[in-house]
Amino acid sequence: MARRSRTSIPEEDTELNMTPMLDVVFILLIFFIVTSVFVKTPGFDPTQPDAITDADWKPSILIAINAQNEVWIDKSPYDVTEIRPIIKAILDETPKAEGIIKADRDAEVGVVMSVQELMQELGVDTRVGTE
């Protein structure tokens, strides 16, 4: 006597619903884009003075001052009096930003100190970079 199956399940094509997985992937992508920190480059590479000690530091705000005392932020030159709103805009994007000032060896110390004081007034932890 041949045995018969009590239930007969018809074979169907099984499909995976990819929509929930795509939703999770897009949510992760948005999360990583929102939490990433973008570093704005100053626009030129100044000749910096030598330092005795060296500490590795990864700032999110880079400011360069050339020999003509132009302040470069995000590849654009500015006067010292014009940089407050630009730094505030950067701070709106990244509130816990740290900054570094890369000044040319021939830049005036007064300009470098003015930029550093402005950064400290705005609550940005700032260092002056050397090579």
Range 113-124 average pLDDT: 90
Q: How confident is the model at residue 130 (pLDDT cuts 50, 70, 90)?
A: low
Strand order in the sheet with 76-78: 76-78, 71-73, 61-65, 98-103, 125-129
Of 55, 24, 42, 70, which Cα lies nearest the Cα of 127? Answer: 55
pTM above 0.75, yes or no: no
CA distance 82 to 84: 6
Which tens digit of pLDDT belongs to each residue from 40-80? 667 766 666 666 666 666 777 888 998 888 998 888 888 88
Q: What is the pLDDT of residue 96?
A: 83
- Rounded to a whole number of angstroms, the CA Rg of the chain reads 28
Q: Does domain 38-129 have CATH number 3.30.420.270?
A: yes
CA distance 99 to 26: 32
With 0-12 CB in 10 A as exposed, 13-18 as middle and 19+ as buried, what is 35? Answer: exposed
Q: What is the pLDDT of residue 74?
A: 85
Range 20-34 average pLDDT: 91
Which tens digit of pLDDT belongs to each residue from 95-111? 888 888 888 888 888 99
DSSP state of 115: H
Residue of 118 and 60 predicted with greater confidence: 118
User: Which range, of 5-9, 21-25, 106-110, averages the lowest pLDDT?
Assistant: 5-9
Q: What is the pLDDT of residue 23?
A: 93
Query: Above pLDDT 90, what percent of the chain?
Result: 15
